[in-house]
Amino acid sequence: MQLQQQRLSAGSSGCAGRRLAAPAVRRASSRARTMPVVEARKVAVLGAAGGIGQPLSLLLKMNKLVTELALYDIANVKGVAADLSHCNTPVKVTAYTGDAELEGALKGAELVVIPAGVPRKPGMTRDDLFNINAGIVKGLVSAAAKHCPNAIIEIISNPVNSTVPIASEVLKAAGVYNPKRLLGVTTLDVVRANTFVSEARGLDLKDVDVPVVGGHAGITILPLLSQATPSVTFSDAEREAMTKRIQEAGTEVVEAKAGAGSATLSMAYAAARMAESTLLGLAGEPSVFECAFVDSQAVPGSPFFASKVQLGPEGVSQVLGLGTLNDFEKAALDAMLPELKAQIQKGIDFARK
């Protein structure tokens, strides 16, 4: 992976649930959806030669909503672009290497997806990633603010609880901040929750939908099992174990790879789902919902929070509330808020230095 040089390349189901603050409209299934006719859509992937960037770029090359796929990294991106260009889909693939070519990657982009950074390794927490990835995100978002100020920016680079606030401060300083157009990609938490719950209860995966709220690290990840569709029941011990597994699923992958990487393939899948939903929203597709870490008033005192959002032509068209939580979820929310707020503030302080 390129980014041992401490520069670039780190590592959905919809999240509609029951008893939400707004009508629980489920994300339209692919079978029910008609593919809208759209104008040219340029998508830029920053960190495209990394462990997440490569499979993510492949999935986007297969997306009919994308017209041009601009791949950026500090090295080896031309090889990735050449490889992808041989796939017989009509998406045009272009390659950009290094700071001097970053403007070309961003110019005209409507969606910028940032998986840039270094991945987690065994024993490394998301906080350990901060000093490296925070600087990478700050630099890339600064460039996006200059060269594609109206683009939707989706942050994958961990720790998301801090990197999204960094991006917001950078955009504010540049005078182009639009909270509707900045999202932290937490879709992977929903993908994992859906998978684990369907396996535990023997359900058809396509029918399972578990909203996941809060943040994107450890105890800040809060699956709302009480709002799962279809309705499922867990004993206290089962609920606690399931919640802990969803929260620690990233570590499960890091340890299984034994130093060879982190959750790259599942993260690429989740990011591609989020990108597709965003592009559908831009195209005017109604009733597109995902969970994302956004500028939010869902929880008093937390300026950013992951919850269900509706996507539309302007990006995030609506941030939905948490709905009715059970006693376990209320306690978990109260327990995680101090840590989530501290991680958000850490990002804000870094950006303001």
Per-residue pLDDT tens for 290-305? 999 999 999 999 999 9
Residue 285's pLDDT is what? 95
CB of 289 closer than 8 Å to CB of 15 = yes
Q: List the chain domain ranges.
A: 41-185, 186-352
- What tens digit of pLDDT does each residue of 184-204 get? 999 999 999 999 999 999 999
Residue 259's pLDDT is what? 82
Instruction: Label residue 76 exposed, middle or buried (CB < 10 Å: 0-12, 13-18, 19+).
Output: middle
Q: Which fold has domain 186-352?
A: L-2-Hydroxyisocaproate Dehydrogenase; Chain A, domain 2 (3.90.110)
Q: What is the pLDDT along the chain (353 residues), one digit of tens a residue?
A: 333 333 343 333 444 433 333 323 344 444 455 555 556 799 999 999 999 999 999 999 999 999 999 999 999 999 999 999 999 999 999 999 999 999 999 999 999 999 999 876 667 666 777 888 999 999 999 999 999 999 999 999 999 999 999 999 999 999 999 999 999 999 999 999 999 999 999 999 999 999 999 999 999 999 999 999 999 999 999 999 999 999 999 999 989 998 888 899 999 999 999 999 999 999 999 999 999 999 999 999 999 999 999 999 999 999 999 999 999 999 999 999 999 999 999 999 999 98
Closest CA to 254 of 161, 156, 155, 119: 119
Annotated binding site: 47-53, 73, 120, 126, 133, 156-158, 192, 267
Annotated binding site for substrate: 120, 126, 158, 192
CA gap 168, 57 in Å, rounded: 25
Closest CA to 293 of 117, 133, 163, 148: 163
pTM exceeding 0.75: yes
Query: Could you confirm whether 147 is annotated as catalytic?
Result: no
Cα angle 274-264-118, degrees, rounded to a multiple of 5: 105
Q: Does domain 41-185 have CATH number 3.40.50.720?
A: yes
**Catalytic member of 41, 42, 216, 341:** 216
Instruction: Label residue 227 exposed, middle or buried (CB < 10 Å: 0-12, 13-18, 19+).
Output: buried
Q: Is the dihedral of CA 62, 65, 68, 71 positive or negative?
A: negative
Secondary structure (3-state) at 258: coil
Residue 109's pLDDT is what? 98
CA atoms within 13 A on the CB side of 237: 0
Annotated binding site for NAD(+): 47-53, 73, 133, 156-158, 267
Q: Is the dihedral of CA 273, 59, 217, 301 positive or negative?
A: negative
